[in-house]
Amino acid sequence: MKRTSDRFVRLGWLAGLTLVVAIAPLAVGNQYYQQVLVNVGINIVLVLGLNVIIGMTGQLSLCQGAFFGIGAYASALLMTRVGLSFWLSLPLAALIAAAAGFALGIPALRLRGHYLAMITLAFAVITHQVLQNWVELTRGHSGLVRIPWPDVMAVGPVELAVQSRERYYLLVVALVVVALLGTAALQRSRLGRSLLAIREDEVAAELMGVDTRLCKLLAFSLSALFAGVAGSLYAHYAKILTPDLFGVMESINVLVMLVIGGAGTIVGPILGAGVVTVLPEVLRAVADYRLFIFGAILVGCVLFFPGGLVELSRRVLGDRRTTRTDRPTRPVGRVPAALRGAAVSADGGQPLLAVQEVEKRFGGLAAVKAVTWELRAGEILGLIGPNGSGKTTMLNLVSGVYPPTRGTICLDGRPISGLRPSAISQAGISRTFQKIRLFRRLTVAENVAVALAPGRVPKLAGELWRGRIVGLDPDAGSEITALLELVGLAHRADHEARTLSYGEQRLLEIARALATRPRVLLLDEPAAGLSAVDVAFLREVLLRIQGSGIGTVLVEHHMELVMHVSHRIVVLDHGEKIFDGAPQKAQKDPGVLEAYLGADADQPVTVDA
Protein backbone atom coordinates (compact mmCIF):
# COMPACT_ATOMS: atom_id res chain seq x y z
CA MET A 1 0.00 0.00 0.00
CA LYS A 2 2.85 2.35 0.87
CA ARG A 3 4.55 1.67 -2.48
CA THR A 4 1.32 2.43 -4.31
CA SER A 5 0.89 5.73 -2.46
CA ASP A 6 4.54 6.63 -3.09
CA ARG A 7 4.03 5.96 -6.78
CA PHE A 8 1.02 8.27 -6.88
CA VAL A 9 3.04 10.96 -5.10
CA ARG A 10 5.83 10.67 -7.68
CA LEU A 11 3.34 10.78 -10.54
CA GLY A 12 1.78 13.87 -8.98
CA TRP A 13 5.14 15.61 -8.77
CA LEU A 14 5.90 14.63 -12.37
CA ALA A 15 2.54 15.95 -13.57
CA GLY A 16 3.01 19.25 -11.71
CA LEU A 17 6.57 19.71 -12.94
CA THR A 18 5.53 18.91 -16.51
CA LEU A 19 2.77 21.51 -16.31
CA VAL A 20 5.21 24.16 -15.08
CA VAL A 21 7.81 23.31 -17.74
CA ALA A 22 5.16 23.38 -20.45
CA ILE A 23 3.45 26.63 -19.46
CA ALA A 24 6.29 28.82 -18.14
CA PRO A 25 8.18 29.38 -21.45
CA LEU A 26 4.91 29.96 -23.30
CA ALA A 27 3.85 32.54 -20.73
CA VAL A 28 7.17 34.37 -21.11
CA GLY A 29 6.76 34.33 -24.89
CA ASN A 30 10.50 34.35 -25.63
CA GLN A 31 11.16 32.16 -28.70
CA TYR A 32 14.87 31.97 -27.91
CA TYR A 33 14.14 30.30 -24.57
CA GLN A 34 11.66 27.99 -26.28
CA GLN A 35 14.27 26.96 -28.86
CA VAL A 36 16.86 26.19 -26.17
CA LEU A 37 14.31 24.15 -24.21
CA VAL A 38 13.27 22.24 -27.35
CA ASN A 39 16.92 21.30 -27.86
CA VAL A 40 17.16 20.29 -24.21
CA GLY A 41 14.09 18.06 -24.58
CA ILE A 42 15.40 16.40 -27.74
CA ASN A 43 18.74 15.77 -26.06
CA ILE A 44 17.02 14.27 -23.01
CA VAL A 45 15.36 11.66 -25.23
CA LEU A 46 18.68 11.07 -26.98
CA VAL A 47 20.62 10.60 -23.74
CA LEU A 48 17.91 8.40 -22.23
CA GLY A 49 18.51 6.05 -25.16
CA LEU A 50 22.25 5.97 -24.54
CA ASN A 51 21.53 5.35 -20.86
CA VAL A 52 19.81 2.07 -21.79
CA ILE A 53 22.94 0.63 -23.38
CA ILE A 54 25.59 2.20 -21.12
CA GLY A 55 23.90 2.95 -17.80
CA MET A 56 21.62 -0.09 -17.62
CA THR A 57 23.51 -2.73 -19.66
CA GLY A 58 27.10 -1.61 -19.11
CA GLN A 59 28.04 -1.73 -22.82
CA LEU A 60 30.13 1.18 -24.12
CA SER A 61 28.62 2.68 -27.30
CA LEU A 62 30.00 5.57 -29.33
CA CYS A 63 27.41 5.68 -32.10
CA GLN A 64 24.32 7.29 -30.57
CA GLY A 65 24.83 10.26 -32.90
CA ALA A 66 24.64 7.87 -35.87
CA PHE A 67 21.24 6.54 -34.78
CA PHE A 68 20.18 10.14 -34.18
CA GLY A 69 21.07 10.94 -37.80
CA ILE A 70 19.36 7.82 -39.15
CA GLY A 71 16.14 8.79 -37.37
CA ALA A 72 16.35 12.40 -38.57
CA TYR A 73 17.00 11.57 -42.23
CA ALA A 74 14.48 8.70 -42.26
CA SER A 75 11.68 10.88 -40.90
CA ALA A 76 12.45 13.77 -43.25
CA LEU A 77 12.67 11.51 -46.32
CA LEU A 78 9.54 9.56 -45.47
CA MET A 79 7.57 12.79 -45.25
CA THR A 80 9.11 14.76 -48.14
CA ARG A 81 9.69 12.01 -50.72
CA VAL A 82 7.35 9.19 -49.78
CA GLY A 83 4.55 11.54 -48.74
CA LEU A 84 3.78 9.93 -45.41
CA SER A 85 2.24 11.79 -42.52
CA PHE A 86 4.57 12.97 -39.75
CA TRP A 87 2.59 10.82 -37.33
CA LEU A 88 3.63 7.76 -39.36
CA SER A 89 7.10 9.02 -40.23
CA LEU A 90 8.14 9.46 -36.60
CA PRO A 91 7.43 5.87 -35.44
CA LEU A 92 8.76 4.42 -38.71
CA ALA A 93 11.96 6.44 -38.38
CA ALA A 94 12.33 5.17 -34.81
CA LEU A 95 11.84 1.58 -36.00
CA ILE A 96 14.39 2.04 -38.79
CA ALA A 97 16.91 3.31 -36.25
CA ALA A 98 16.04 0.38 -33.95
CA ALA A 99 16.62 -2.05 -36.83
CA ALA A 100 20.04 -0.47 -37.38
CA GLY A 101 20.76 -0.89 -33.67
CA PHE A 102 19.73 -4.54 -33.81
CA ALA A 103 21.96 -5.12 -36.84
CA LEU A 104 24.91 -3.48 -35.07
CA GLY A 105 24.25 -5.55 -31.95
CA ILE A 106 24.74 -8.87 -33.76
CA PRO A 107 28.48 -8.54 -34.49
CA ALA A 108 28.96 -6.69 -31.20
CA LEU A 109 27.66 -9.57 -29.07
CA ARG A 110 31.08 -11.13 -28.54
CA LEU A 111 32.86 -7.82 -27.90
CA ARG A 112 33.35 -5.90 -24.68
CA GLY A 113 35.17 -2.83 -23.44
CA HIS A 114 37.34 -0.94 -25.89
CA TYR A 115 36.72 -3.51 -28.65
CA LEU A 116 32.99 -2.78 -28.49
CA ALA A 117 33.74 0.95 -28.41
CA MET A 118 35.84 0.58 -31.56
CA ILE A 119 33.13 -1.22 -33.54
CA THR A 120 30.46 1.31 -32.51
CA LEU A 121 32.83 4.15 -33.39
CA ALA A 122 33.40 2.55 -36.79
CA PHE A 123 29.62 2.38 -37.28
CA ALA A 124 29.36 6.09 -36.50
CA VAL A 125 32.05 6.89 -39.08
CA ILE A 126 30.41 4.66 -41.72
CA THR A 127 26.98 6.23 -41.11
CA HIS A 128 28.44 9.72 -41.51
CA GLN A 129 30.13 8.71 -44.77
CA VAL A 130 26.90 7.23 -46.13
CA LEU A 131 24.93 10.38 -45.29
CA GLN A 132 27.63 12.47 -46.90
CA ASN A 133 28.22 10.48 -50.10
CA TRP A 134 24.80 9.02 -50.96
CA VAL A 135 23.95 12.25 -52.73
CA GLU A 136 20.95 10.86 -54.61
CA LEU A 137 19.17 10.18 -51.33
CA THR A 138 20.57 12.65 -48.80
CA ARG A 139 21.81 15.43 -51.12
CA GLY A 140 25.21 15.17 -49.41
CA HIS A 141 26.71 18.43 -48.17
CA SER A 142 23.78 20.39 -49.66
CA GLY A 143 21.56 18.76 -47.08
CA LEU A 144 17.82 18.28 -46.86
CA VAL A 145 16.00 21.60 -46.65
CA ARG A 146 12.45 22.84 -46.20
CA ILE A 147 11.46 19.92 -44.01
CA PRO A 148 7.79 20.60 -43.18
CA TRP A 149 6.05 20.93 -39.86
CA PRO A 150 3.99 17.95 -38.73
CA ASP A 151 0.75 17.76 -40.69
CA VAL A 152 -2.63 18.13 -39.01
CA MET A 153 -3.92 14.91 -37.48
CA ALA A 154 -7.65 14.53 -36.90
CA VAL A 155 -8.69 12.40 -33.93
CA GLY A 156 -12.46 12.27 -34.23
CA PRO A 157 -13.78 15.81 -33.86
CA VAL A 158 -10.42 17.02 -32.51
CA GLU A 159 -7.65 18.24 -34.83
CA LEU A 160 -4.06 18.06 -33.62
CA ALA A 161 -2.08 20.81 -35.30
CA VAL A 162 1.61 21.26 -34.46
CA GLN A 163 2.64 23.92 -36.94
CA SER A 164 4.25 26.55 -34.76
CA ARG A 165 7.27 26.64 -32.45
CA GLU A 166 5.05 27.02 -29.39
CA ARG A 167 3.00 23.91 -30.19
CA TYR A 168 6.08 21.97 -31.23
CA TYR A 169 7.58 22.76 -27.85
CA LEU A 170 4.52 21.19 -26.20
CA LEU A 171 4.91 18.10 -28.42
CA VAL A 172 8.54 17.74 -27.33
CA VAL A 173 7.58 18.09 -23.66
CA ALA A 174 4.92 15.39 -24.09
CA LEU A 175 7.36 12.97 -25.74
CA VAL A 176 10.00 13.65 -23.10
CA VAL A 177 7.47 12.66 -20.43
CA VAL A 178 6.61 9.51 -22.40
CA ALA A 179 10.33 8.68 -22.71
CA LEU A 180 10.88 9.19 -18.97
CA LEU A 181 7.90 7.02 -18.04
CA GLY A 182 9.03 4.38 -20.53
CA THR A 183 12.53 4.34 -19.05
CA ALA A 184 11.13 4.04 -15.51
CA ALA A 185 8.91 1.15 -16.61
CA LEU A 186 11.86 -0.51 -18.31
CA GLN A 187 13.95 -0.35 -15.13
CA ARG A 188 11.18 -2.07 -13.17
CA SER A 189 10.52 -4.70 -15.83
CA ARG A 190 11.95 -8.17 -16.17
CA LEU A 191 13.99 -7.03 -19.14
CA GLY A 192 15.30 -4.06 -17.18
CA ARG A 193 16.38 -6.26 -14.29
CA SER A 194 18.10 -8.57 -16.75
CA LEU A 195 19.97 -5.63 -18.29
CA LEU A 196 21.07 -4.44 -14.85
CA ALA A 197 22.30 -7.94 -14.06
CA ILE A 198 24.36 -7.97 -17.27
CA ARG A 199 25.87 -4.65 -16.26
CA GLU A 200 26.87 -6.03 -12.87
CA ASP A 201 28.17 -9.46 -13.95
CA GLU A 202 27.39 -10.87 -17.39
CA VAL A 203 28.70 -14.36 -16.61
CA ALA A 204 26.61 -14.66 -13.44
CA ALA A 205 23.55 -13.33 -15.29
CA GLU A 206 23.95 -15.97 -18.00
CA LEU A 207 24.30 -18.72 -15.40
CA MET A 208 21.14 -17.49 -13.67
CA GLY A 209 19.20 -18.11 -16.88
CA VAL A 210 19.30 -14.63 -18.42
CA ASP A 211 19.63 -14.83 -22.20
CA THR A 212 22.39 -12.24 -22.36
CA ARG A 213 22.62 -12.24 -26.16
CA LEU A 214 18.94 -11.48 -26.63
CA CYS A 215 18.97 -8.89 -23.87
CA LYS A 216 21.96 -7.04 -25.34
CA LEU A 217 20.32 -7.03 -28.79
CA LEU A 218 17.19 -5.56 -27.24
CA ALA A 219 19.28 -2.96 -25.40
CA PHE A 220 20.96 -1.84 -28.63
CA SER A 221 17.57 -1.71 -30.35
CA LEU A 222 15.91 0.31 -27.58
CA SER A 223 18.85 2.70 -27.40
CA ALA A 224 18.60 3.31 -31.15
CA LEU A 225 14.79 3.61 -30.92
CA PHE A 226 15.07 6.54 -28.51
CA ALA A 227 17.68 8.14 -30.78
CA GLY A 228 15.37 7.69 -33.77
CA VAL A 229 12.55 9.52 -31.98
CA ALA A 230 14.94 12.33 -31.04
CA GLY A 231 16.19 12.53 -34.63
CA SER A 232 12.69 12.81 -36.02
CA LEU A 233 11.84 15.59 -33.57
CA TYR A 234 15.01 17.45 -34.48
CA ALA A 235 14.49 17.17 -38.24
CA HIS A 236 11.03 18.75 -38.26
CA TYR A 237 12.07 21.51 -35.88
CA ALA A 238 15.41 22.48 -37.45
CA LYS A 239 13.99 22.27 -41.02
CA ILE A 240 17.44 21.49 -42.46
CA LEU A 241 19.73 18.47 -42.14
CA THR A 242 23.37 18.09 -43.13
CA PRO A 243 25.69 15.10 -42.50
CA ASP A 244 28.06 17.12 -40.31
CA LEU A 245 25.34 17.42 -37.67
CA PHE A 246 25.61 13.67 -37.04
CA GLY A 247 29.33 13.01 -37.07
CA VAL A 248 31.45 11.31 -34.44
CA MET A 249 31.53 14.45 -32.29
CA GLU A 250 27.77 14.29 -31.86
CA SER A 251 28.12 10.80 -30.38
CA ILE A 252 30.87 12.05 -28.07
CA ASN A 253 28.69 15.00 -27.08
CA VAL A 254 25.82 12.69 -26.08
CA LEU A 255 28.24 10.53 -24.08
CA VAL A 256 29.50 13.63 -22.26
CA MET A 257 25.90 14.52 -21.34
CA LEU A 258 25.41 11.07 -19.83
CA VAL A 259 28.70 11.10 -17.92
CA ILE A 260 28.11 14.59 -16.51
CA GLY A 261 24.51 13.83 -15.55
CA GLY A 262 25.03 10.34 -14.18
CA ALA A 263 24.68 7.00 -15.98
CA GLY A 264 22.26 4.38 -14.73
CA THR A 265 19.69 6.84 -13.40
CA ILE A 266 16.66 8.58 -14.85
CA VAL A 267 17.49 12.01 -13.44
CA GLY A 268 21.07 11.89 -14.80
CA PRO A 269 20.13 12.25 -18.50
CA ILE A 270 17.89 15.22 -17.63
CA LEU A 271 20.66 17.01 -15.73
CA GLY A 272 23.36 16.15 -18.27
CA ALA A 273 21.29 17.21 -21.29
CA GLY A 274 20.27 20.41 -19.55
CA VAL A 275 23.78 21.41 -18.49
CA VAL A 276 25.53 20.58 -21.77
CA THR A 277 22.79 22.22 -23.88
CA VAL A 278 22.27 25.36 -21.81
CA LEU A 279 25.84 26.04 -20.67
CA PRO A 280 27.14 27.07 -24.14
CA GLU A 281 24.37 29.64 -24.32
CA VAL A 282 25.29 30.97 -20.88
CA LEU A 283 28.98 31.10 -21.78
CA ARG A 284 28.61 33.02 -25.05
CA ALA A 285 30.42 35.96 -23.45
CA VAL A 286 33.49 33.76 -22.90
CA ALA A 287 33.17 31.63 -26.02
CA ASP A 288 36.94 31.16 -26.32
CA TYR A 289 37.00 29.33 -22.97
CA ARG A 290 33.94 27.13 -23.41
CA LEU A 291 35.86 23.98 -24.32
CA PHE A 292 38.18 24.48 -21.37
CA ILE A 293 35.22 24.84 -18.99
CA PHE A 294 33.53 21.76 -20.45
CA GLY A 295 36.74 19.80 -20.13
CA ALA A 296 37.17 20.84 -16.51
CA ILE A 297 33.59 19.78 -15.67
CA LEU A 298 34.05 16.43 -17.40
CA VAL A 299 37.39 15.71 -15.70
CA GLY A 300 35.95 16.74 -12.36
CA CYS A 301 33.02 14.35 -12.76
CA VAL A 302 35.23 11.44 -13.82
CA LEU A 303 37.76 11.94 -11.00
CA PHE A 304 35.64 13.07 -8.09
CA PHE A 305 32.01 12.23 -8.95
CA PRO A 306 31.89 9.10 -11.18
CA GLY A 307 28.13 9.12 -10.72
CA GLY A 308 27.90 12.59 -12.25
CA LEU A 309 25.70 15.39 -10.99
CA VAL A 310 23.33 12.84 -9.46
CA GLU A 311 26.10 11.62 -7.16
CA LEU A 312 27.13 15.21 -6.38
CA SER A 313 23.57 16.13 -5.42
CA ARG A 314 23.32 13.09 -3.15
CA ARG A 315 26.54 14.05 -1.39
CA VAL A 316 25.43 17.65 -0.91
CA LEU A 317 21.83 16.95 0.08
CA GLY A 318 22.50 13.63 1.77
CA ASP A 319 21.29 10.29 0.48
CA ARG A 320 17.82 10.01 1.96
CA ARG A 321 17.05 6.62 0.51
CA THR A 322 15.80 4.43 3.33
CA THR A 323 15.98 0.71 3.78
CA ARG A 324 13.91 -1.69 5.76
CA THR A 325 15.29 -2.47 9.20
CA ASP A 326 13.05 -5.31 10.31
CA ARG A 327 14.36 -7.69 12.92
CA PRO A 328 16.61 -10.43 11.50
CA THR A 329 14.75 -13.60 10.53
CA ARG A 330 17.59 -15.97 11.42
CA PRO A 331 15.44 -19.10 11.90
CA VAL A 332 15.31 -21.07 8.65
CA GLY A 333 12.11 -20.42 6.72
CA ARG A 334 10.07 -22.80 4.59
CA VAL A 335 10.95 -23.75 1.05
CA PRO A 336 8.53 -21.99 -1.37
CA ALA A 337 5.84 -24.24 -2.85
CA ALA A 338 6.88 -23.33 -6.41
CA LEU A 339 10.38 -24.59 -5.63
CA ARG A 340 9.11 -27.92 -4.32
CA GLY A 341 7.05 -28.43 -7.46
CA ALA A 342 9.95 -27.63 -9.78
CA ALA A 343 12.20 -30.16 -8.07
CA VAL A 344 10.18 -33.21 -9.15
CA SER A 345 12.07 -35.40 -11.59
CA ALA A 346 10.45 -36.47 -14.82
CA ASP A 347 11.20 -40.15 -14.07
CA GLY A 348 11.78 -41.26 -10.50
CA GLY A 349 13.51 -44.44 -11.71
CA GLN A 350 16.42 -42.80 -13.45
CA PRO A 351 19.12 -40.46 -12.16
CA LEU A 352 18.23 -36.80 -12.11
CA LEU A 353 21.71 -35.87 -13.33
CA ALA A 354 24.12 -38.29 -15.03
CA VAL A 355 27.75 -37.47 -15.82
CA GLN A 356 29.20 -40.19 -18.06
CA GLU A 357 32.89 -40.50 -18.97
CA VAL A 358 33.30 -36.72 -19.01
CA GLU A 359 36.70 -35.33 -19.86
CA LYS A 360 37.93 -31.76 -20.15
CA ARG A 361 41.26 -30.78 -21.66
CA PHE A 362 42.84 -27.35 -21.85
CA GLY A 363 45.44 -27.88 -24.53
CA GLY A 364 47.62 -30.72 -23.30
CA LEU A 365 46.37 -30.49 -19.69
CA ALA A 366 43.57 -32.86 -18.66
CA ALA A 367 41.65 -31.10 -15.89
CA VAL A 368 38.98 -33.84 -15.72
CA LYS A 369 39.65 -37.41 -16.87
CA ALA A 370 36.80 -39.77 -17.79
CA VAL A 371 34.73 -39.04 -14.67
CA THR A 372 31.35 -40.71 -14.14
CA TRP A 373 28.85 -40.06 -11.36
CA GLU A 374 25.09 -39.73 -10.83
CA LEU A 375 22.75 -37.61 -8.72
CA ARG A 376 19.19 -38.47 -7.71
CA ALA A 377 16.35 -36.20 -6.65
CA GLY A 378 16.56 -35.16 -3.01
CA GLU A 379 20.16 -36.37 -2.70
CA ILE A 380 23.10 -34.32 -1.46
CA LEU A 381 26.28 -35.42 -3.22
CA GLY A 382 29.54 -34.26 -1.66
CA LEU A 383 32.15 -33.60 -4.36
CA ILE A 384 35.48 -33.29 -2.58
CA GLY A 385 39.16 -33.41 -3.35
CA PRO A 386 42.38 -31.45 -2.84
CA ASN A 387 42.94 -28.07 -4.47
CA GLY A 388 43.35 -28.42 -8.22
CA SER A 389 41.59 -31.78 -8.37
CA GLY A 390 38.96 -30.59 -10.88
CA LYS A 391 35.94 -29.94 -8.63
CA THR A 392 35.11 -26.42 -9.86
CA THR A 393 35.92 -27.48 -13.43
CA MET A 394 33.34 -30.25 -13.04
CA LEU A 395 30.71 -27.72 -11.90
CA ASN A 396 31.63 -25.50 -14.85
CA LEU A 397 31.09 -28.45 -17.20
CA VAL A 398 27.70 -29.30 -15.72
CA SER A 399 26.52 -25.66 -15.74
CA GLY A 400 27.70 -25.01 -19.31
CA VAL A 401 30.60 -22.64 -18.64
CA TYR A 402 32.85 -25.13 -20.45
CA PRO A 403 31.83 -27.70 -23.06
CA PRO A 404 33.20 -31.17 -22.31
CA THR A 405 36.00 -32.44 -24.53
CA ARG A 406 34.49 -35.91 -24.35
CA GLY A 407 31.59 -37.64 -22.63
CA THR A 408 27.97 -36.71 -21.99
CA ILE A 409 26.01 -34.92 -19.29
CA CYS A 410 22.27 -35.68 -19.08
CA LEU A 411 19.46 -34.10 -17.08
CA ASP A 412 16.49 -36.43 -16.71
CA GLY A 413 17.92 -38.52 -19.53
CA ARG A 414 18.23 -35.58 -21.94
CA PRO A 415 21.73 -34.52 -23.03
CA ILE A 416 22.63 -30.96 -22.04
CA SER A 417 26.29 -30.99 -23.08
CA GLY A 418 27.11 -28.04 -25.33
CA LEU A 419 24.04 -25.97 -24.43
CA ARG A 420 24.49 -22.35 -23.44
CA PRO A 421 24.58 -21.69 -19.68
CA SER A 422 21.27 -19.82 -19.81
CA ALA A 423 19.59 -22.79 -21.54
CA ILE A 424 21.01 -25.20 -18.95
CA SER A 425 19.77 -22.93 -16.16
CA GLN A 426 16.32 -22.83 -17.70
CA ALA A 427 16.40 -26.63 -18.00
CA GLY A 428 16.77 -26.87 -14.22
CA ILE A 429 20.40 -26.54 -13.11
CA SER A 430 21.54 -23.60 -11.01
CA ARG A 431 24.71 -22.83 -9.09
CA THR A 432 26.68 -20.63 -6.74
CA PHE A 433 30.32 -19.61 -7.18
CA GLN A 434 33.60 -20.24 -5.42
CA LYS A 435 34.28 -16.49 -5.60
CA ILE A 436 31.08 -14.63 -4.83
CA ARG A 437 29.46 -13.17 -7.97
CA LEU A 438 26.45 -11.18 -6.82
CA PHE A 439 24.93 -8.22 -8.63
CA ARG A 440 26.55 -5.87 -6.17
CA ARG A 441 24.70 -2.61 -6.89
CA LEU A 442 21.27 -4.27 -6.96
CA THR A 443 19.33 -4.83 -3.77
CA VAL A 444 19.03 -8.21 -2.10
CA ALA A 445 15.47 -8.58 -3.39
CA GLU A 446 16.48 -7.51 -6.91
CA ASN A 447 19.25 -10.12 -6.98
CA VAL A 448 16.62 -12.79 -6.37
CA ALA A 449 14.13 -11.18 -8.77
CA VAL A 450 16.63 -11.30 -11.65
CA ALA A 451 16.87 -15.08 -11.34
CA LEU A 452 13.17 -15.68 -10.72
CA ALA A 453 12.27 -18.37 -13.23
CA PRO A 454 9.31 -16.76 -15.08
CA GLY A 455 11.21 -13.51 -15.56
CA ARG A 456 14.22 -14.51 -17.61
CA VAL A 457 12.91 -13.31 -21.00
CA PRO A 458 13.32 -16.65 -22.83
CA LYS A 459 10.74 -15.90 -25.53
CA LEU A 460 10.41 -12.23 -26.31
CA ALA A 461 7.33 -12.31 -28.54
CA GLY A 462 5.29 -14.36 -26.07
CA GLU A 463 6.36 -12.23 -23.14
CA LEU A 464 5.40 -9.02 -24.96
CA TRP A 465 2.10 -10.44 -26.14
CA ARG A 466 1.07 -11.48 -22.64
CA GLY A 467 2.41 -8.27 -21.14
CA ARG A 468 4.61 -10.27 -18.76
CA ILE A 469 7.78 -8.48 -19.77
CA VAL A 470 6.73 -5.24 -18.08
CA GLY A 471 6.64 -6.58 -14.54
CA LEU A 472 6.81 -9.54 -12.21
CA ASP A 473 3.99 -11.99 -11.62
CA PRO A 474 1.56 -11.00 -8.86
CA ASP A 475 2.87 -13.75 -6.55
CA ALA A 476 6.55 -13.08 -7.29
CA GLY A 477 6.92 -10.79 -4.29
CA SER A 478 5.79 -13.50 -1.88
CA GLU A 479 8.16 -16.01 -3.49
CA ILE A 480 11.10 -13.61 -3.18
CA THR A 481 10.22 -13.03 0.48
CA ALA A 482 9.96 -16.77 1.10
CA LEU A 483 13.38 -17.40 -0.44
CA LEU A 484 14.96 -14.65 1.63
CA GLU A 485 13.29 -16.00 4.78
CA LEU A 486 14.72 -19.42 3.96
CA VAL A 487 18.27 -18.02 4.15
CA GLY A 488 17.52 -15.49 6.93
CA LEU A 489 17.83 -12.34 4.80
CA ALA A 490 14.26 -11.04 4.62
CA HIS A 491 15.21 -8.13 6.89
CA ARG A 492 17.89 -7.09 4.37
CA ALA A 493 15.67 -7.17 1.26
CA ASP A 494 16.07 -3.47 0.42
CA HIS A 495 19.81 -3.27 1.09
CA GLU A 496 22.34 -3.33 -1.74
CA ALA A 497 24.10 -6.68 -2.01
CA ARG A 498 27.52 -5.07 -1.58
CA THR A 499 26.56 -3.93 1.93
CA LEU A 500 26.04 -7.47 3.21
CA SER A 501 28.56 -9.32 5.31
CA TYR A 502 30.57 -12.09 3.68
CA GLY A 503 28.40 -14.81 5.20
CA GLU A 504 25.20 -13.05 4.16
CA GLN A 505 26.50 -12.75 0.61
CA ARG A 506 27.08 -16.52 0.55
CA LEU A 507 23.50 -17.10 1.68
CA LEU A 508 22.15 -14.61 -0.86
CA GLU A 509 23.88 -16.54 -3.64
CA ILE A 510 21.99 -19.64 -2.54
CA ALA A 511 18.66 -17.77 -2.49
CA ARG A 512 19.37 -16.38 -5.96
CA ALA A 513 20.24 -19.82 -7.29
CA LEU A 514 17.03 -21.24 -5.82
CA ALA A 515 15.01 -18.49 -7.51
CA THR A 516 15.58 -20.22 -10.85
CA ARG A 517 13.47 -23.10 -9.45
CA PRO A 518 16.17 -25.68 -10.12
CA ARG A 519 16.02 -29.45 -9.93
CA VAL A 520 19.79 -29.60 -9.49
CA LEU A 521 21.68 -27.13 -7.27
CA LEU A 522 25.46 -26.84 -7.60
CA LEU A 523 27.13 -25.27 -4.55
CA ASP A 524 30.79 -24.28 -4.87
CA GLU A 525 32.30 -23.96 -1.38
CA PRO A 526 29.32 -22.20 0.27
CA ALA A 527 30.91 -22.53 3.74
CA ALA A 528 34.22 -20.92 2.77
CA GLY A 529 35.07 -18.14 5.21
CA LEU A 530 31.98 -18.66 7.39
CA SER A 531 31.96 -18.68 11.18
CA ALA A 532 30.89 -21.77 13.10
CA VAL A 533 27.48 -20.20 13.74
CA ASP A 534 26.99 -19.45 10.05
CA VAL A 535 28.08 -22.96 9.08
CA ALA A 536 25.50 -24.42 11.46
CA PHE A 537 22.84 -22.19 9.89
CA LEU A 538 23.98 -23.20 6.40
CA ARG A 539 23.63 -26.83 7.38
CA GLU A 540 19.97 -26.27 8.30
CA VAL A 541 19.36 -24.46 5.00
CA LEU A 542 20.89 -27.34 3.03
CA LEU A 543 18.72 -29.89 4.82
CA ARG A 544 15.60 -27.84 4.08
CA ILE A 545 16.59 -27.67 0.40
CA GLN A 546 17.23 -31.43 0.36
CA GLY A 547 13.80 -32.03 1.87
CA SER A 548 12.17 -30.21 -1.05
CA GLY A 549 13.44 -32.86 -3.50
CA ILE A 550 16.20 -30.80 -5.11
CA GLY A 551 19.37 -32.72 -5.93
CA THR A 552 22.43 -30.90 -4.55
CA VAL A 553 26.09 -31.20 -5.51
CA LEU A 554 28.19 -29.79 -2.68
CA VAL A 555 31.81 -28.86 -3.39
CA GLU A 556 33.32 -28.07 -0.03
CA HIS A 557 36.50 -28.23 2.07
CA HIS A 558 34.59 -28.06 5.38
CA MET A 559 34.70 -31.80 6.08
CA GLU A 560 32.40 -31.74 9.09
CA LEU A 561 29.65 -30.09 7.05
CA VAL A 562 30.16 -32.44 4.10
CA MET A 563 30.07 -35.56 6.22
CA HIS A 564 26.99 -34.43 8.14
CA VAL A 565 24.74 -33.52 5.19
CA SER A 566 25.94 -35.68 2.29
CA HIS A 567 24.24 -38.93 1.35
CA ARG A 568 27.14 -39.91 -0.89
CA ILE A 569 30.69 -38.74 -1.51
CA VAL A 570 32.61 -38.51 -4.80
CA VAL A 571 36.33 -37.79 -4.44
CA LEU A 572 38.48 -36.36 -7.25
CA ASP A 573 42.26 -36.30 -7.36
CA HIS A 574 44.21 -34.84 -10.31
CA GLY A 575 41.02 -34.87 -12.36
CA GLU A 576 40.25 -38.56 -11.73
CA LYS A 577 37.53 -40.13 -9.61
CA ILE A 578 39.13 -42.16 -6.85
CA PHE A 579 36.07 -42.83 -4.68
CA ASP A 580 32.26 -42.94 -4.95
CA GLY A 581 30.31 -44.12 -1.92
CA ALA A 582 28.96 -43.45 1.55
CA PRO A 583 30.57 -40.75 3.73
CA GLN A 584 31.44 -43.30 6.43
CA LYS A 585 33.39 -45.40 3.92
CA ALA A 586 35.17 -42.30 2.54
CA GLN A 587 36.57 -41.63 6.02
CA LYS A 588 38.24 -45.04 5.99
CA ASP A 589 39.24 -45.36 2.35
CA PRO A 590 43.07 -45.46 2.03
CA GLY A 591 43.10 -43.63 -1.31
CA VAL A 592 40.95 -40.79 0.05
CA LEU A 593 43.00 -40.49 3.22
CA GLU A 594 46.22 -40.33 1.28
CA ALA A 595 45.06 -37.98 -1.49
CA TYR A 596 42.82 -35.58 0.38
CA LEU A 597 42.54 -35.88 4.13
CA GLY A 598 46.29 -35.96 4.62
CA ALA A 599 46.17 -38.78 7.18
CA ASP A 600 47.93 -42.09 7.48
CA ALA A 601 45.96 -44.79 5.73
CA ASP A 602 46.01 -46.82 8.94
CA GLN A 603 44.44 -43.96 10.94
CA PRO A 604 40.82 -43.37 9.74
CA VAL A 605 39.47 -39.85 10.17
CA THR A 606 36.18 -39.56 11.99
CA VAL A 607 33.72 -36.72 12.31
CA ASP A 608 31.64 -36.40 15.45
CA ALA A 609 27.94 -36.73 14.81
pLDDT tens digits, 191-245: 888 899 999 999 999 999 888 898 999 999 999 999 999 999 999 999 999 999 9
pLDDT value for 341:
53
Check if the beta carbon of residue 251 is closer than 8 Å to that of residue 47. Answer: no
Nearest-angstrom CA–CA distance, 475 and 468: 13
pLDDT tens digits, 360-375: 999 888 899 999 999 9
Cα separations in angstroms, 63 against 70, 217, 252, 561: 11, 15, 8, 53
Domain ranges of the chain: 32-317, 337-437+516-597
Q: In the chain, which residues have pLDDT < 70?
A: 1-22, 24-29, 156, 318-349, 453-476, 596-609
Instruction: Compute how many other C-beta atoms are within 10 angstroms of the C-beta atom of residue 385.
Output: 24
154 burial level (CB within 10 Å; 0-12, 13-18, 19+): exposed
State the virtual CA torsion across 430, 432, 436, 442 in degrees, nearest 10.
40
pTM given for the model: 0.86
pLDDT value for 600:
53
pLDDT value for 303:
83
Q: How do the residues of the chain divide into helix, strand and coil, expressed in percent and rounded to 5?
A: 60, 10, 30
Which H, E and C letters describe 85-121, residue by residue?
Answer: CHHHHHHHHHHHHHHHHHHHHHHHCCCCHHHHHHHHH
Nearest-angstrom CA–CA distance, 152 and 142: 29
Query: Distance between the two ends of the chain, CA-based, in angstroms?
Result: 48
**At CA 508, angle to CA 506 and CA 509, rounded to 5?**
65
pLDDT value for 12:
62
DSSP lists the bridge partners of residue 579 as: 571
Give the strand pairing for 353-362 and 365-375.
antiparallel
321 burial level (CB within 10 Å; 0-12, 13-18, 19+): exposed
Instruction: Let me know if domain 337-437+516-597 sits in CATH 3.40.50.2300.
Output: no
Q: What are the φ and ψ backbone dihedral angles of 369, each rounded to 5 degrees?
A: -125, 105
Q: Identify the helix (H) or strand (E) that includes residue 406.
A: strand 406-411
pLDDT tens digits, 107-147: 888 888 888 999 999 999 999 999 999 999 999 999 999 99
CA atoms within 13 A on the CB side of 568: 15
